[in-house]
Amino acid sequence: MPIFWIFNFLLSASYCLCQVTYELNIYGEAQHGYFIKVYLGTPPQAINLLLDTGSSNVAVAAVPPNVGDNKFFHFNESKTLNKLDTNVHLQYIVGQWSGFLIEDVLNFGNGTITCTLACMVTINKIFEPHSQFQGLLGLAYRSIALPNSSVQPFFDTLIKDKDVGNIFSLDLCGPYFSNPVQATNCGKFEMGYTSKLSNNRDVVYTPIIKEWYYEIILTDLRVGMKHIPMECWEINKKKSVIDSGTTELYLPKSVYDWTNDEIRKHVQHIISDKFWMNKTAACVPYDKFDISVFPTLTLSFYHSINSSFNLLISPELYLLPYENKSTELICFKHAFAVLDDGVLIGSSILKGFYVVFDRQNKRIGFANSEHFNETSGFPGSVMKPKYTNKNIQMCKKEVKLANSFDLSPLMIVVLFFSVLVTLVLLYMLISWIFRTFLLHTDESSETSSLTALFWKHGNDENDHILLQDLRANEPSFEEIV
C-alpha cells in the first residue's frame, strides 16, 4: 500500500513538473488597477495590460488613451500585424470603446504567442488621466469574447500553443493603511500549475456555476455580527462575479443600502453624508483616525450542497486610501458601489487573498495572502467550510429555479413505487366497477325481459295474444298436485 501511494505521488509530481508554467510580476494597486508588462508587434512595443477577469478580449489603445499621452500601440509600425475585417465594441459599467481586430505577436517576458487583439480607436472613460496601463488583458471565458465566441482569448491561446495547465492565480497586494508604501511591483500573476499550489496552502474552493464571467454563488453577507435580512437569492440576483478589472465591490441597490447603513452605525467618526452617498472622500485627522471602529465584512460562498465558507473582509480592504496634500489628515473612500444586475467582487477585496482560477475543475479558490502573517494580521481571512442546513441551492434561482427541484436516487425509487401502487389500485378499482355493475346488468337483463314484455305497450293487441299464449303453456294447479 505505501508503494502505491508513493507511485501516485511521483506520478502527480512528474505531471505537474512537465506542465509549462509562467510567472509574471504584477504592478499597480486596487484603486487604479493591477497590470502586467508585455510587448506587442515587431519590433516589440512595451504596453501595460490591466488584468481583467471580467472580459475576454485583449484590447490595446491604438490612439492616445487620454489627451497628451504618448504611450499606446502604434499598430501601423508592426511588421507582423495581420488586420482582420472585424469591428468590435465593448460597453462597461462605466466607459466604452470601439475598434477592430488584428492578429499579432504578444511577448510577456518569458513566452511569446500570436493571438487575436482588439485595437481601440474610439475610447471613452476607459483610462484615467495619466493611467499606467494602455490596454486590457481579458481572462474570462470564450463565450463572452467580442464580437462572438469565434475569437480565441489570450489564455485559451496559451493553453493551446504552450501546453499550459488550465489554471491561473492572482496574488495581489496593497497599499494598505497599515502599510501605505507601495512597492515597485506588487504581486504575481501565475499561469499553469505553480509551486504555490503544492505548498500545502489551505485553498478553499467555490464552484464556477457558469462559464462566461467567473460566476459564483454568495450564500450570505454580514456586517459585524449582523446578517443581511433578506433571502440569499436577492444578493445573487442576475449574477455574482469575480472581476479583477473592477475596483469596487458592486452590490444590488437593496443590499448596498443595508450594508452602507450597518457600517455607518459602527463608525464614531464625524463623516459627511456625501461620503456615505459615495460622492466624496472622507478626511479625518491622523491622531483621531481609528480604522478599527469600522466593522468586519463577511462574504459567505457556496462550497458544496450542504456547506459554505466565509471570507472575512477587514476595513483595510473596503476602505481605499485617497491622496491628499495635507500631512495632518488621512483621507479615504469606501469601495462599495451599486449595480442593478448583480454583484461584482473587485480588486479592492481580492487584494487581501491569494485567488486561484481553477478552470480545469470549474472552481475558484481562496487562501490567506502570503504578504501577511499571524503576527501582523490578515486584511482578509479565509475560514474553513462549515455545514449548514440551509437550502443554499436556492441562492441562485437561475441555477436552482424556485419552481423546480432535483430528484435524489431515494426520491426516484419512492416516486417509482408510488406510481406503480397507484396504477395497481386504479386497475383494481376499474375491475371492481366492471364486475359489479356492468356484468351484473347483463345477467339481469334476461330475467327482466318478460316483465318488459308484459308492461310495455300494455294496450297493444299483440301483447295480449302473447300473454295468453304464455299462460296457455303454464301447467294447471291440478297438474302440479
Active site residues: 52, 243
Residue 437 DSSP one-character state: I
How would you write 203-230 as a 3-class SS string?
CEEEECCEECCEECCEEEEEECCEECCC
Distance CA 249, CA 393 (A): 23
Distance CA 188, CA 92 (A): 26
Please provide residue 199's backbone torsions phi and psi, each rounded to the nearest 5 degrees: -90, 35
Cα–Cα nearest to 108, from 135, 68, 69: 135
CA dihedral defined by 267, 271, 273, 276, rounded to 10 degrees? Answer: -50
Half-sphere exposure of 439 (CA within 13 A, CB side): 7
Distance CA 295, CA 292 (A): 7
Which runs of E-coded beta strand occur in 147-196?
168-171, 188-191
User: How far from chain centre, in Å, is Cα 249?
Assistant: 14
Are the CB atoms for 173 and 186 separated by under 8 Å? yes
- Cβ of 234: how many Cβ atoms within 10 Å? 13
Are the CB atoms for 301 and 311 separated by under 8 Å? yes
Residue 348 DSSP one-character state: H
Which value, in Å, is the radius of gyration of the alpha carbons in the chain?
37
Distance CA 391, CA 219 (A): 10
How would you classify residue 39: left for phi > 0, otherwise alpha for psi between -120 and 50, otherwise beta? beta
Identify the residue whose cell numbers are 495632518.
328
